Structure 1
Amino acid sequence: MILLVLLASVLILVVTVYQYDEQTKDYNIQRFERKEATTKQTIELELKNKTSYPVNTENLAKIFKERIYEISSINKLNISIFDLEGRLLKSSIAAAFEKVNIEPVSEAILKELAQNSNHKILKSREEKGIGYQSSFSYINDSKFKRIGILELQFTQDNSEIEKELREFISRLGLVYLLMFIIAIAIAYFLSSYITRSIKTISDKMEQTRLNKRNEKIILNTASTEIEILVDAYNNMIDELGESAAKLARSEREQAWREMAKQVAHEIKNPLTPMRLTVQSFERRFNPQDEKAKDKLTEFSQTLIQQIDVMSSIASAFSDFAKMPTQKKEKIETISVVKFALDIFNENYIKYYPQEKELYANLDKTQLIRIVTNLVKNAIQATDKEENPFIEVKVLSEEKNLKISVSDNGKGIADNVKDLIFEPKFTTKTSGMGLGLAMIKNIIEAYEGSISFTSEEGIGTVFTVILPKT
């Protein structure tokens, strides 16, 4: 819009200057033609009625000896009279006290004048900002016989006209500048009006997520095109909500199926040895046997052991299914972590607290659960190492508590790193793979984070960040 206004202003300015110049030229020509007609009429009257000299070429200088100055002054023209050969006879330019060299009429002009049907030619030239217009025509006697050549010269000083033109252009330039500023303001507000609606749509699109409720766009004033775009977005939000609901339902159903499979698998593991034990006991048990009581005790212990396994399975799934309850209290974390490590007998577990005391608002039981779970995993990762070591560090980082557990175990393969915190995923031959998933839930409930770095054959470092408050 601004470019169009600027281009239009330049074009109008160019056309205006051109038109002004053409009108000035036309006006000067018309003005000269009027003066020329008046002057010729005066000369003809002078030749017909006011002279006592015979009207011929030789007497033209005498006839207009003094009269030529009056005619020149009245009509504001320079008048020169030449004979038919182009020699000067009399001119209004010359005065008694000045000598002016007036060139004779050129052969080219004489020839052109003779060949012209109107027996009149017009010449224009400009020198130093002053325009000169000259006309050449024949002087006739009463019988229309050519007796001389009349040159009328009109001098036009264009400096005044050019000054007026400059003033006009300056005023026009101010108008165009005002128009340009107005165009910029209109363009700014118009673009702001358009882009404000587009910005609203853009912000909403950036906030659109599949796993949350998305708001529709409501615009009170907008163009038809923007309204079409908003309607399309709102329809997309409706479809996205339906798709998200279907996806969530499908994910829940899939999760329950996987959980059911896992529960069934874990329960079948102790049921199989229990069944074999019962069948074996039924076939081989002899009440008369002297060792019958010992065998019955052994049988009972085997069943109780498998029942305990099943109970632990049920407890683990129960703990995973519910969000850990938080009981925040101010605890001294250095001593709590040491207490959690005291239950392990492995002498290669080293504890390196970076501070003597470090307080945080956490649940003591859940903090112990986090530490013990990570250390258990580290012990299992180093069980085949010749010189195992596990390091536990606790330190403060600004407003956070940082706990790191590192080991020199077998490490975690790259193809399973993304699955480490997934429920029921495990790299061990036993267990249900719920430990890391559960502590991740605990940490995220505190708005903390857990991460790890690992390299196969070198070891793994788990890092837990928990806010102090």
Structure 2
Amino acid sequence: MRLQTRLTLAMLALAWLPLGLSVWVLTLRTEAAFQRSFEERRGAIGAAVREGLAQAGRDLDVALQRVAQDSVLREVLLEPLGRDRFYGVQERERAAMVEAGRLMTSAAIDTLRLVDRREGGRVLAMGHRRGLAEAEPEALALLGERASEPVIRRERVEDEASGAARDVWTLQVARAADDRVALIGGRRLDAGLLAEILAGAAGAGTGGVEVAVVGSDGHPIAATFAGEAPSAGWDVGVRPLAGAGGEGAQAELRVYVSRAGVDAVVAGVWAAAAALAGVGALLALLMGLWISRRISRPLEVLAAAADRVAGGERQVEVPDPGGRDEVASLSRAFNRMTHDLADSEERLRQSERVAAWQEIARRIAHEIKNPLFPIQMSIETLQKVWKRRHPDFEEIFEESTTTILEEVARMSRIVTEFRDFARLPAPSPERVDVGELLRQVAGLHRDVDEAVTVRVEPGAAVAASVDADQVRQAMTNLVKNAVEAHQGAGPAPGAEVVLSARVHDGELQLRCDDNGPGIPPEVRERLFTPYFTTKSQGTGLGLAIVHRIVSEHRGRVRVRGLPGGGTRFELALPLDGAAGSADTVLRGPDGGGT
């Protein structure tokens, strides 16, 4: 990953992580605050609804008090019952039923039941249903210590229009009309009553609030909503409501509070966070670009310059960004390093040139001195024979002059090789048929030694851009070296030198294979060193010239032993004929390094 990318990601992390952490903490605190608010609202609304139900009970108690004071009720029911002249008198029982309906209507209540406390809760009359019901002893429990508190009871009520009876849930209160008759009045517990109570509890904040009274079996008794109870996005609180006489929970009050407000606030917080994250990302991007221009761009320039220096350039200088920071110091240090490196290499080249000329002078002196001695001896012999007027002078003259001519030819060959090595021109690449070039090289050596076969492997028809003369000279030197290796090892059946060419991995590969004695590893490492030779008549420049030619073509020379004996020289040259420096790869018979 590039430094610029890492810097930009770091800036984004610095911008987003604190923001994300802050939003997360703010969200938790907001939800906690709203949760406390919900609990307070649920508690307040629950208390308000319970108070509303209690107030409805008190209103029922007041209505029953008025019913108990009604004169007609006393005349029709209470006084006859007190004189034991009520039961069995059908006219009075029917009159009591009619009077119960009138009293229920006048008191604006939904149910009214008159029961005989002495007869185990025997029903005397009902205003909400025709006929008489069985005695309900449990109804007398409504007259206990908490008689003023309403309870929830199921009651069967007849519809005035259709006469059909159905069970409804009511809020009931009991009051004694006298020491014998009890009045049990009720009001329907439905959505209307709850809505009325909820409207009266506006001070508790009833917006986004629904309430329901649910029976002990889990079925709703009354609710301010229709259909299913609110679930997703609502918080619910539960409070028990008393049953008959306050014995246990006959029902429970459920208060639903909407979370739409807090969800909207949290969504707003996250929306604001997203906007801030976008702004932070933009600022981080700009900051990353600025830092990259100040830090990574100079470093990229330095890296590119270092690659150029590694590629061989020396006159490389990077712009000074100015300032006194580390990047500026590094740029200036790099420029000093390249200058020092160029100076050092120039001094090294000068030293190498001096050493090379010294070595050349030494080698030339050595190579020329060797033939000079036979020449000197031949001339001195001629002088002595001439002075003595030796009778075999002509024969000795012929022998001595032949020796002198051979050594002069040897000196001429030495001078020519030194000249070729010292004055090798730059390559002039042109499109050539490499196969034809190899056949020409093989033809030059076909009759050199009848014991050694020089041939070109089929399939060498390859075209490439190279300097034909230099490549021909390099391959000629390799073939000459291989033939001389066979000759030095002595006659052997099947001795041959095989030339081949192919294109592989975008480069031209020329091979010279022989099945001779091979080259020892310790010798292989010095093969291309100028003036190094293992031959008594060699100058040590043949393979050095090969390496020089390949170097000028920006290629590589590979040397490896072949299985079963022999040596392979491989010249790898660029197909485009580019010039440069060569690498030398030395390998063993298995292809590994030697």
TM-score, length basis structure 1: 0.63
Q: Could you tell me which runs of 5 or more consecutive residues in structure 2 were left unpaired when the two chains were aligned.
A: 1-10, 44-57, 63-144, 153-169, 174-210, 212-234, 240-252, 578-594
Q: Secondary structure at the match of 2:539?
A: coil
CA contact (8 A) 2:560 2:567 kept: yes
Do residues 413 (structure 1) and 520 (structure 2) align? yes
Deviation at 1:168, TM superposition (A): 1.5
Do residues 159 (structure 1) and 257 (structure 2) align? yes
Residue of 393, 396, 399 corresponding to 1:298: 399
CA contact (8 A) 1:286 1:292 kept: no
Deviation at 1:164, TM superposition (A): 2.5
CA contact (8 A) 1:409 1:457 kept: no
Q: Deviations over 1:398-447 (max 9, x none)?
A: 88765433222221122232322222122223311111121333344455
Q: Distance in 1 between matches of 2:13 and 2:459?
A: 68
Deviation at 1:319, TM superposition (A): 0.7
Residue of 419, 431, 440 corresponding to 2:538: 431
User: Residue 437 and residue 303 in structure 1: after superposition, are their counterparts in 2 closer, same or farther (change >3 A)?
Assistant: same
Deviation at 1:459, TM superposition (A): 0.8
Q: Could you tell me which runs of 5 or more consecutive residues in structure 1 were left unpaired when the two chains were aligned.
A: 33-61, 67-87, 101-126, 133-154
The residue correspondences of 1:85-100 to structure 2 (distance < 5 A) are: 98=171
| RMSD between aligned residues | 4.7
Residue of 1, 21, 35 corresponding to 1:10: 21
Structure 2 residue identity aligned to 1:98: L
Do residues 168 (structure 1) and 272 (structure 2) align? no
The residue correspondences of 1:173-252 to structure 2 (distance < 5 A) are: 173-192=270-289, 193-194=291-292, 195-209=296-310, 211-218=312-319, 224-252=325-353
User: Residue 131 and residue 216 in structure 1: after superposition, are their counterparts in 2 closer, same or farther (change >3 A)?
Assistant: farther
Q: Distance in 1 between matches of 2:150 and 2:329?
A: 82
Deviation at 1:315, TM superposition (A): 1.3
Deviation at 1:316, TM superposition (A): 1.0
Q: Secondary structure at the match of 2:316?
A: coil
The residue correspondences of 1:51-450 to structure 2 (distance < 5 A) are: 98=171, 129=236, 159=257, 162-192=259-289, 193-194=291-292, 195-209=296-310, 211-218=312-319, 224-281=325-382, 286-324=387-425, 328=430, 332-333=436-437, 335-355=439-459, 365-383=469-487, 384-385=489-490, 386-387=492-493, 389-397=495-503, 403-446=510-553, 449-450=556-557
Structure 1 residue identity aligned to 2:515: N
Q: Secondary structure at the match of 1:286?
A: helix
Q: Distance in 1 between matches of 2:382 and 2:306?
A: 69
Q: Deviations over 1:321-365 (max 9, x none)?
A: 012465757564365234323442324314244159766666665
Q: Distance in 2 between matches of 1:9 and 1:405?
A: 70
User: Residue 241 and residue 308 in structure 1: after superposition, are their counterparts in 2 closer, same or farther (change >3 A)?
Assistant: same
TM-score, length basis structure 2: 0.52
User: Residue 337 and residue 376 in structure 1: after superposition, are their counterparts in 2 closer, same or farther (change >3 A)?
Assistant: closer
Deviation at 1:290, TM superposition (A): 1.6
Q: Distance in 2 between matches of 1:236 and 1:131?
A: 83
Count matched residues.
376
CA contact (8 A) 2:555 2:572 kept: yes
Structure 1 residue identity aligned to 2:532: F
CA contact (8 A) 2:501 2:508 kept: yes
CA contact (8 A) 2:442 2:456 kept: no
Structure 1 residue identity aligned to 2:443: F
Deviation at 1:320, TM superposition (A): 0.3
Looking at CA atoms only, which structure, 1 or 2, has the larger radius of gyration? Answer: 2
Identical-residue share of aligned pairs (%)? 23
Deviation at 1:457, TM superposition (A): 7.5
User: Residue 434 and residue 16 in structure 1: after superposition, are their counterparts in 2 closer, same or farther (change >3 A)?
Assistant: same
